[in-house]
Amino acid sequence: MDLYTYYRSTSSYRVRIALGLKGLDYQALPVNLIANGGEHRQAAYRALNPQGRVPALRTDGGELLIQSPAIIEYLEEAFPNPSLLPGDLVARARHRQVAALIGCDIHPLHNVSVLNRLRHLKVAEEEVSAWIAHWVSEGFSAVEALIGDEGYCFGTVGLADVYLLPQLYAARRFSVDLAGFPNILRVERLALEHPAFLAAHPDAQPDTPA
């Protein structure tokens, strides 16, 4: 499989973790979101992905898939073992609610194009930072209450953790105060010792700046 990815893209990071947890090999094809106005905006990439965002995954069958939730679900269904979800239906829904909270209600509000839109509207840089901190803190308050108090988000590693670690990376990058989130920080400490999370980390990618 080929993964169109950018080292510090949180959506790409999710897919890299999912691939790692499932022990799947892939070739990383970096797409630089910053250089030359963004390679993701150029015609060659848009011909592959009409939305012009990362990640995108080319399956072994040659199909091009976009949107990290769809890609992760594809991986889960195509390669069910090890699973990212527990067997119990309610427990599965608990993983998915954290994934949706992060993927739908936090990350889109600090995506590159959204922040650039704020800047285009002449919002001052400190207000942009306050905007990011507001949405991350509000979302993390809910995640903190939803996840358990030992182990990964819900005990053993799973889908919720696949979404949480990249969001934490982004929160740190934007200097969001995380002191009020002890459960979230516990999960981070555990995951940052797990080989699949380490291999997927933005600091360990082929396109990570030296």
Which of residues 17 and 33 has its CB atom nearest to ligand GSH in the complex?
Answer: 33
Chain positions 76 to 105 lying near ligand GSH, rule: CB under 6 A, are 103
User: Vertex 135, ends 35 and 173: CA angle to 5°?
Assistant: 40
Chain positions 14 to 73 lying near ligand GSH, rule: CB under 6 A, are 33, 40, 53-55, 67-69
Give every strand in the sheet of 64-66, ordered side by side.
27-30, 2-5, 56-58, 64-66
Specify the 3-state DSSP secondary structure of 64: strand
CB of 4 to ligand GSH, least distance (A): 9
User: Vertex 175, ends 174 and 176: CA angle to 5°?
Assistant: 95
User: Vertex 124, ends 173 and 180: CA angle to 5°?
Assistant: 40
Which of residues 167 and 184 has its CB atom nearest to ligand GSH in the complex?
Answer: 167
Which of residues 33 and 157 has its CB atom nearest to ligand GSH in the complex?
Answer: 33
Residue pair 20/207 in contact (Cβ under 8 Å)? The answer is no
Name which position in 3, 4, 7, 9 contacts ligand GSH (CB under 6 A).
9
Distance from the first to the final alpha carbon of the chain: 26
The encoded tokens of residue 150 equal 């030992």
Which of residues 22 and 40 has its CB atom nearest to ligand GSH in the complex?
Answer: 40
CB of 136 to ligand GSH, least distance (A): 14
Which of residues 21 and 56 has its CB atom nearest to ligand GSH in the complex?
Answer: 56
Contacting positions for ligand GSH (CB under 6 A)? 9-11, 33, 40, 53-55, 67-69, 103, 111-113
